[in-house]
A and B are shown apart, each in its own frame.
Chain A
Amino acid sequence: KNEVEQSPQNLTAQEGEFITINCSYSVGISALHWLQQHPGGGIVSLFMLSSGKKKHGRLIATINIQEKHSSLHITASHPRDSAVYICAVDPSGSRLTFGEGTQLTVNP
């Protein structure tokens, strides 16, 4: 069993839909990261959180430390949101353990 598991692996949505990607982990962590990887391969850090909830534009990330679970939400999805979304946890220090990613496709 992977230390970090994401669901779903693939997600197809219509433009405007509300999207949720889930991440469960099995180790104690100091922080959890949500990353976005575009088709060209470049990675953008979306959120780093250790408790509660963060919002940036149409993106919202939540984490429940007791349940070892985090969710990434995208409101009013758009085709440009199409990418791979990766959950990564930081057990201690700064070494990250990555989930396998969720491939999101938003159709116009």
Chain B
Amino acid sequence: GAVVSQHPSWVICKSGTSVKIECRSLDFQATTMFWYRQFPKQSLMLMATSNEGSKATYEQGVEKDKFLINHASLTLSTLTVTSAHPEDSSFYICSATAGDQPQHFGDGTRLSIL
């Protein structure tokens, strides 16, 4: 089946640094990629939707200058958490889809900011 690779799977870094998370669709061209955030014991919350070659659409309450999303190609989207702080610690997960196909999820990135 379709595979989405997310990297890194775990990041620990100091407060104030920026962290980049990559999401790649390995065997299909993803017209749309989604970025989610999940707090412990809670459901996934959509942060933004990105379409290749255009600016991401952010959900209400998500700071676009804080969470920079780039979808430069049909197989790669990146999420950069800028000037990360402890409250940004969370589980981030991406998904990718081609047209009306089911979303295929990455394995997620656990981000811990010290």
Contact = CB atoms under 8 A, between A and B. Distances in A.
A94 interface: yes
A22 to B, nearest CB: 16
Looking at chain B's contact residues, the main secondary structure is: strand
Interface size class of B (residues with CB under 8 A): 20 to 34
Interface stretch (A12-20, A42-50, A64-72, A73-81): A42-50
Given A33-B102, A98-B43, 16 more contacts: A40-B107, A41-B108, A41-B110, A42-B105, A42-B106, A42-B107, A45-B102, A86-B43, A94-B32, A94-B34, A95-B46, A96-B46, A98-B44, A99-B43, A100-B42, A101-B43
A35 interface: yes
B70 interface: no
Interface of B: 32, 34, 38, 42-44, 46, 49, 91, 93, 95, 97, 100, 102-108, 110
Interface of A: 33, 35, 40-45, 48, 86, 94-96, 98-101
